[in-house]
Structure 1
Amino acid sequence: MASNAPVGKPTDMSSPRLPKVAGIDSTVPAPPHTVAPLPGVPSAAPPSDAALPPGVLIQDRLASWVSDLTTLHELTERLIKTDSLDGALREMLGAGAALVGARRGMAVLEPADGLGPTSTIGLGLAHADLGTIETVPRGSGSYGRLLDGLSEADPPGAGLPGNGPTAPRRPARVPEPIAIRDVRTEEGLDPRHREVAARLGYAASYALPLATEEAGRLGAAVWLYDEPAEPDERRRHLIGLYGRFATEHLARLLQVERARARVATVAEELLPSRLPRVPGVRLAVRHLTGPQGGGDWYDALPLPEGALGLAVGSVSGTGPSALAAMGRLRASLRAYAVMEGEDPVAVLSDLELLLRLTEPARSATALFAYAESAQRRIVLAGAGHAPPLVVGDHRTEFVETSLSAPLGMLTCWEAPSVELSPAPGETVLLYTDGLLRRTGDATDRAFARLHAAASSVPRADRSDPGAVADHVLRTLLPGGLDPAVEGEDVVLLAARFE
């Protein structure tokens, strides 16, 4: 019946509507400034989306934004999983190539402060190709222009009063990206630039500064097109957002890399710069350290009456504090070894007392050997340390040492020493626990693997203690010591008796 038909507002509400997106009503009136075409003049063909309802346009735009945000989220998630400068640069290059629509590219890491490190990474370019690109005069190449432009910018804090450690920083000026749509027709390019582009087969490039106002200049990236092209406004926007995030991530990795380098330098300075030369004994050492630097150490020092002191040890903890404790412990052991080195038990007892008095919260392991090379006689004692391994043509066996607690664990440390006489041509291996634990095996299996590795040293290499140490390391740790993986250091000291 007519009386039951809906009228007024209910009729409007029941009319067909496009679905809502993100809470936005898809029924949007036409813009008020839209005017009808002039009479008698044919109207221009509307854009492809002009005939679509306004709600569909909004949905398309929202879908495009969501797609872009999803892409950036996925790419940045992949980037933050990288933990090295080289890995981050390679990931950034690949992601940037996808964003700008290129196939090849290169990234140049060149921090503005000049403290390094510097490197050049290629995507789809061989090492020789990178060298060819670097022959282009720096002022003509797009990445070179970006780096030089950033170099000429004011350094942070320049021109401000009280320029010092607490002075406010002036944000660095960041230049705009450089797009060369067609290398053949671009004005102002050096002829060498066109020649290299023709040789490598690229026709256009897009260069992005790896710099932000806070991080300053870290470098630049350039992507190469096979045909004349340049990214549109949307792609430029996306690569700009990604580039800023990548630069901040690279800045953090740069700080970590420099910190690791400083720790490694300190560790090297705290250890012997070279091994002594003692008649009748040939020495070799291998020291592998983790990213934060551990407390593993070694020493070899000449003692009175032609004797030789050999020591390896490990201090609990990592980082600068462990390195400092390691340096103090090693220096103390050297002093005790000079005074009473012929008695290794007395040396370690004095060391234990010093550790308890000066650093009661820290423990350490140590092994000290007093060697008389002329008599091929060794007296040694260990505190919580793994037993040495003797490697020769006729035997490969661990030295039977007494069990004892690490230094700093007992109120009074003392354990009996042991004596051994290596045969001519035999090598004694002293090592830290890190060599066993880095294998990832249980202790008994790690010892068995170490014994098997030492037994398998080729006969031709047994006359060289360095070759013996290298073979053992390659066998136990075939992939080497990953510097990005936290873990204990590895020390392997080899002494071959003639």
Structure 2
Amino acid sequence: MLDIPLLLRVHVDTEIAAQNDMGVCDAIQRYAPAGKPAVMSAPHLPKVAGIDPTVPAPAHTATPHAGIPVAASAPGALIQDRLAGWVSDLTTLHELTERLARTGTLDDALHELLRAGAALVGARRGMAVLEPADGLGPARTIGLGLARAEIGHIETVPRGATSYGRLMDSAAGIPDPVAVPDLLGDEGLDPRHREVAARLGYAASYAVPLATGTAGKLGAAVWLYDEPAEPAERRRYLVGLYGQYASEHLARLLELERGRATLATIAEELLPSRLPRVPGVQLAARHRRGPHGGGDWYDALPLPEGALGLAVGSVSGSGPSALAAMGRLRASLRAYAVMEGEDPVAVLSDLELLLRLTEPARSATALFAYCEPAARKIVLAGAGHAPPLVIGTRRTEYVETSLSAPLGMLACWEAPSVELAPEPGETVLLYTDGLLRRTGEPMDRAFARLHTAAVTVPGADRDDPGAIADHVLRTMLPDGPDRTGSGEDVMLLAARFA
């Protein structure tokens, strides 16, 4: 009978103990082979969210001699297996966070959070509740694998009885996740919660907080299991890391959305609160704000002797500075229109001089029309702006205006005014360049598309300038939001003459 020296047994025991005590870097340095580890390059079984199944022990290449104990696996191989699992987890986590980082809205980010979290914890359904603790909103409730009615059922449960509600109402800064491995077997569960869980067919839940040290509590995410279950410690750790990153990303999107909402509110206040009522003409306006808060605007103001002034324009740039410049330009044009509105060239000349003196680094486009509804007469002039479109039963055509550079770029005023006499029932459509640019097509095709949209206005809608503007918007921008990502504003002002 062979015997193994005691010294050898002590050496093996020491090595096995070392694999638990040494650091990862020491283990790699001591045990990693010179080439690429075979265990990391060998084919693996399918993994769930980056978590490898147990790697089977390698088969022996030769039968050991009878009576000789089988030697333990090499400590280096065990550490390599563990490191391979860590690398796989980190790779999966990196891929999931990259996908989350590509989301640009709160709704998209919450949907991605639920999908990634469900894969990490091994669940099929879930729900995310966004409710910032500062009370400034916005509030969201997003479901994964849950219809709106099912989410409504869950919301009937007293908030304090739900796992996500306990996280959101917790007095702690960032509370720990809440796991309920067996909802139906929990004797302390609220009866209403048990009834809803039985009706919707879920038996366990796992909830994580959405909070950051700077923004505070933002909400919570909860995943639902069809059978009693609880994520393992390794899965909890991964979803915890992912939840921390998701919270930071949501905090940034929340701040961005609040800023956009503020800009939208300011922009709305800078536009006319209502359109004037002038005999002989019907007015309608439509607008779609871009995400960056551009400087497009429109205006309609009554003038002496039953006249009417119509204007559209666009200021270069975006954001708060462009909105402020737009407000100043619109207010100045209103003042010049009251004083000399019957001469549109003089109005725009004064506006050009003002812009050149007060804001030399900024340019703008504008179109001003002086209308006499009783006489069905329009005198208009433009500075770098797209021509109006006349829409009627017998003609649909662009008004031939003289070419002119934008405001702030004119060496001298050269573009004369144009006189137009609309027929009874015809509508004059004024618009900003955003209507053309949002199509993503070259300008000549965009103009042709706008003309086609005007021609195809249904006969029943031609008596309503609002219906005409709506039809043009639907035809030009069928998807609603900005498909090109240009962030352009869209302004339409329609005037139908009786």
User: Would the TM-score normalized by the shorter structure come out above 0.5?
Assistant: yes
- Matches of 1:213 and 1:324 in 2, distance apart? 34
User: What residue ranges of structure 1 are gaps of 5+ in the alignment?
Assistant: 1-19, 28-47, 154-172
Query: 2:156 matched to 1:135?
Result: yes
Specify the alignment match of 1:24 in structure 2. 30
Residue type at the aligned position of 2:312: V
CA contact (8 A) 1:291 1:484 kept: no
Specify the alignment match of 2:445 in structure 1. 445
Structure 1 residue 289, shift from structure 2 partner: 1.4
SS of aligned partner of 1:221 = strand
Structure 1 stretches of 4+ with a deviation exceeding 3 A read 20-24, 48-52
CA contact (8 A) 2:129 2:141 kept: yes
Specify the alignment match of 2:115 in structure 1. 94
What is the TM-score with the length of structure 1 in the denominator? 0.86
Specify the alignment match of 1:73 in structure 2. 94
Structure 1 residue 304, shift from structure 2 partner: 0.7
CA contact (8 A) 2:307 2:373 kept: yes
Moved more, 339-348 or 472-481: 472-481
- Matches of 1:355 and 1:414 in 2, distance apart? 17
Residue type at the aligned position of 1:56: A
Specify the alignment match of 1:255 in structure 2. 255
Specify the alignment match of 1:481 in structure 2. 481
Residue type at the aligned position of 2:160: G
**Per-residue CA shift, 1:37-71, capped at 9, x if unaligned?**
xxxxxxxxxxx989533222111100110010001
- Matches of 1:340 and 1:414 in 2, distance apart? 18
Structure 1 residue 262, shift from structure 2 partner: 0.7
Of 131, 147, 152, the match for 1:110:
131
- Matches of 1:271 and 1:414 in 2, distance apart? 30
CA contact (8 A) 2:336 2:350 kept: yes
- Matches of 1:105 and 1:51 in 2, distance apart? 44
Specify the alignment match of 1:162 in structure 2. none
Specify the alignment match of 1:242 in structure 2. 242
User: What is the root-mean-square deviation of aligned Cα atoms in Å?
Assistant: 1.8
- Matches of 1:332 and 1:23 in 2, distance apart? 73
**Per-residue CA shift, 1:401-421, capped at 9, x if unaligned?**
111111110233242111111
**Structure 1 264/75 Cα, relative in aligned 2: closer, same or farther at 3 Å?**
same
SS of aligned partner of 1:450 = helix
Moved more, 406-415 or 445-454: 406-415
SS of aligned partner of 2:374 = coil
Specify the alignment match of 2:228 in structure 1. 228
- Matches of 1:78 and 1:328 in 2, distance apart? 42
CA contact (8 A) 1:146 1:175 kept: yes
Of 63, 68, 76, the match for 2:84:
63
SS of aligned partner of 2:160 = coil
Specify the alignment match of 1:144 in structure 2. 165
CA contact (8 A) 1:296 1:490 kept: yes
Specify the alignment match of 2:266 in structure 1. 266
Moved more, 368-377 or 92-101: 368-377
CA contact (8 A) 1:284 1:493 kept: yes
Residue type at the aligned position of 2:227: E
Residue type at the aligned position of 1:83: G
- Matches of 1:24 and 1:331 in 2, distance apart? 76
Residue type at the aligned position of 1:416: P
CA contact (8 A) 2:439 2:483 kept: no
Q: Give 1 or 2: higher helix fraction.
A: 2
CA contact (8 A) 2:438 2:484 kept: no
Specify the alignment match of 2:411 in structure 1. 411
Structure 1 residue 220, shift from structure 2 partner: 0.2
Structure 1 residue 445, shift from structure 2 partner: 1.2
Residue type at the aligned position of 2:471: H
Query: 2:140 matched to 1:119?
Result: yes
Specify the alignment match of 1:457 in structure 2. 457
- Matches of 1:140 and 1:21 in 2, distance apart? 47
Specify the alignment match of 1:342 in structure 2. 342
**Structure 1 201/135 Cα, relative in aligned 2: closer, same or farther at 3 Å?**
same
CA contact (8 A) 2:440 2:484 kept: no
Moved more, 441-450 or 100-109: 441-450
What is the TM-score with the length of structure 2 in the denominator? 0.86
Alignment of 1:280-359 (within 5 A): 280-359=280-359
User: What residue ranges of structure 2 are gaps of 5+ in the alignment?
Assistant: 1-25, 34-55, 58-70
**Per-residue CA shift, 1:355-395, capped at 9, x if unaligned?**
01100111111000011111111111111111100001111
Residue type at the aligned position of 1:272: P
Moved more, 135-144 or 279-288: 279-288
Query: 2:106 matched to 1:85?
Result: yes
- Matches of 2:445 and 2:482 in 1, distance apart? 21
Moved more, 479-488 or 381-390: 479-488
Specify the alignment match of 1:36 in structure 2. none
Structure 1 residue 190, shift from structure 2 partner: 0.8
Structure 1 residue 484, shift from structure 2 partner: 9.3
Structure 1 residue 26, shift from structure 2 partner: 5.8
SS of aligned partner of 1:311 = strand
Residue type at the aligned position of 2:163: S
**Per-residue CA shift, 1:61-100, capped at 9, x if unaligned?**
0011001000100000100000000000000000000000
Structure 1 residue 139, shift from structure 2 partner: 0.7
Structure 1 residue 189, shift from structure 2 partner: 1.5
Structure 1 residue 274, shift from structure 2 partner: 1.1
SS of aligned partner of 1:374 = helix
Specify the alignment match of 1:387 in structure 2. 387
- Matches of 2:188 and 2:273 in 1, distance apart? 53
Structure 1 residue 214, shift from structure 2 partner: 2.6
Structure 1 residue 213, shift from structure 2 partner: 2.1
